Structure 1
Amino acid sequence: MRVTRCARTLCLWLTLATVSATADPKPLTVTYVGNTGYLIQCGGHKIAIDALLGGERSEYYDMPSDSVVALMTAARPPFDGLDVIAVTHWHQDHFSAGIVAEYLKGNSGCRLLCPQQVADRLSALDGYDGIRRQVRVIDIPVDSVTEVELDGVMAKVLSSKHGSYYETDSAGNTADRHRNVRHLEFLFTVGGRSLLHVGDAELQDRDQFMPLGLGKDSIDIAFIQRWGCKEMPSFGEKLIRERVRPKRIYFTHMAPKELAFLTQHADCPSYRYVTIPTRSLQTWIVP
């Protein structure tokens, strides 16, 4: 009986030690690519969120240069060894079908998480059959969540509405240009760290992050569309700080025309614990 109890005690201690070791947060490496695109490396895994894109640069979108795109397609550092590519939606300032397809063709161990509209654009390219098995389409109703596990990378994926953009036609009718866009938000857990990327979701509902289980405990990083420097915090800022509770915020949608203002006002109270990227491939280590 004593031997059995000792054995059970030993097993319990080993189990607790294993859980404790697994729960120890690993250092994070965060790399800004362009617009809303970031690379995250942690615990031997590497994730790209909205980070494989390219195209004409403008004052509204901070798109990667041709030299950075060449690194993507050749899978050279920092784009080497991606485990997961996550795409929030199909818009060209978040995703390039040709670049993603080229990467998947040369890296059979990489997996893509995306809405159906992204997969549709990939399927129109030659050679799609060769990468089809690497594509994981998330097709769930708006405001619902699914959980995905990919070789040690855990993700909660929320289907949400894209931010509205209203246009008026010649007849005077107003419609939301983005009403039919399928849009995803990602909450990744990797290496004991938690990371939220909201893509182009509007920050307007106090309960919008409840399906992801956010609000009770803080998370490590939130990638959020930039907000302005105001004397009083905006609703969006309060929502993120109070209902998501990230330890650190990284701004997205870094319009070149606004970069000078943002960097000059980096000490604004609204930018407390906010990282403002200033150039492509800028990298930070989060201990």
Structure 2
Amino acid sequence: MNIPRLHHGVAATLALALATAPAALAHPSEDDPATAHFLANEAILVSAGETRILFDPLFSVSYGYPLVAPDVRAAIMAGTPPYDGVDAVFVSHVHGDHFDAGAVNAYLAAHPDVILVGPWQARLDMQAADGWNDAFEARIQALPFIASPQDLVLAADGVEGAIRVETVHIPHAGGPGRAGIQNMAHRVTLNGAATVMHLGDATPEPAIYETHSDHFAARTTQHAFPPYWLLGEWGGETTRQRLNADAATGIHIPIQQPDWLDASGEDFFTEAGEERGVHGHDDE
């Protein structure tokens, strides 16, 4: 079972004892490299060795964006390959094209070892939805609506520090009308070797990223997955520089893709099943 520890830079450390003894990290290798597998919209499966995480996998509203295919969603819910052995699910924010509270409740009920990491608003929505069970509380890391970065260390496969999470609130794109939406940018390091970043529907306002420049500079991301409009407004070089990322692949592409997308020369996930390698470095 995965047992998390939560660290907030502005709060006291909460430490939970592990039920299993630490084991050797299952690092990615040449035969089993770290990969990011695209499902739809902002849904991504990231695998590194034996460690697997999902970003925004369960949602039910299109809003003009592709839905996860029914057979893929069924495989996620059933935990059949490649969706077996998932250690943690990450939620960026509670909009219907990213998050379905009832579906997430059903998933947690079916997979009792999975940890959920997401904004406090996600937890509130789950409590109000069908399928809520008070036992989920111990497996949910609900991040408060604060400006300061928040750190988590999660166990996976009996390894205490298999998943390191560094999350910061980046306002949702769309201006003041979206100010009440708690959009989280998750930077996740798997097995100390592969770091990815998922930004939800992050604003393209440069000042926000300048405010959090220390957070982005603190750790290099091997592969970032920003919403496509960051690459569109900033270009790839600036996007990678601001996020301190070696590579960036845009996500959240509408069904009616913008005309400029192909001509931009930037990398995007546009077809379900696409994969990208995550070329990590040992965090020794």
Q: Give me the TM-score of the superposition, normalised by structure 2.
A: 0.76
User: How many Å apart are 1:83 and its aligned residue?
Assistant: 0.5
Please give the per-residue CA displacement for 1:104-149, whole angstroms capped at 9, x wherever unaligned.
Answer: 111111100111111111111234223222111111412x111100
Alignment of 1:124-163 (within 5 A): 124=128, 125-142=130-147, 144-151=148-155, 152-163=162-173
| 2-structure distance, mates of 1:223, 1:280 | 15
Q: 1:89-108 to 2 correspondence within 5 Å?
A: 89-108=93-112
Matched-pair contact (CA < 8 Å) for 1:73–1:103: yes
Greater Rg over alpha carbons, structure: 1
**Who is 2:272 aligned against?**
280
The one-character-per-residue Cα deviations of 1:223-268 (angstroms, maximum 9, x if unpaired) are 11114887xxx43645422222322212111111007863x43xx4
**Separation in 1, partners of 2:133, 2:244:** 40
The amino acid of 2:224's aligned partner reads A
Aligned residues: 243
1:214-253 mapped onto 2 (5 Å cutoff):
214-215=216-217, 218-227=220-229, 234-235=233-234, 237-253=236-252
CA 1:194–1:131: 2 relative to 1, 3 Å: same
Instruction: Tell me which residue corresponds to 1:179.
Output: 179
The runs of 4+ residues in structure 1 deviating greater than 4 Å are 21-26
Partner-residue secondary structure (3-state), 1:182: coil
Q: Name the CA distance, whole Å, in 2 between partners of 1:71 and 1:245.
A: 34
SS of 1:257's equivalent in the other structure is coil
Contact 2:92/2:185 (8 A) holds in 1: yes
Q: Which amino acid aligns with 2:204?
A: L
Q: What is the root-mean-square deviation of aligned Cα atoms in Å? A: 2.6
Give CA-to-partner distance per residue, 1:56-100, whole Å, 9 cap, x none.
x46x21111222221222122222211111101100111111221
- Residue 112 of structure 2 aligns to a residue in which SS? coil
Alignment partner of 1:38 is 2:44: yes
- Equivalent residue number for residue 199 of structure 2: 198
In structure 1, the partner of 2:120 is 116
SS in 2 for 1:186: strand
How far has the Cα of 1:163 moved from its partner? Answer: 1.5
Structure 1, gaps ≥5 residues long: 1-20, 166-175
Query: C-alpha separation between the residues in 2 aligned to 1:284 and 1:235?
Result: 22
Tell whether the 8 Å contact from 1:198 to 1:224 is kept in structure 2 after alignment.
yes
3-state SS of 1:46 partner: strand
User: Would you say the 8 A contact 1:35–1:61 is kept in 2?
Assistant: yes
State percent identity of aligned pairs.
22
Does structure 1 conserve the Cα–Cα contact (< 8 Å) formed by 2:126 and 2:132? no
| In 2: Cα distance, 1:284 partner to 1:229 partner | 17
TM-score after normalising by structure 1: 0.75
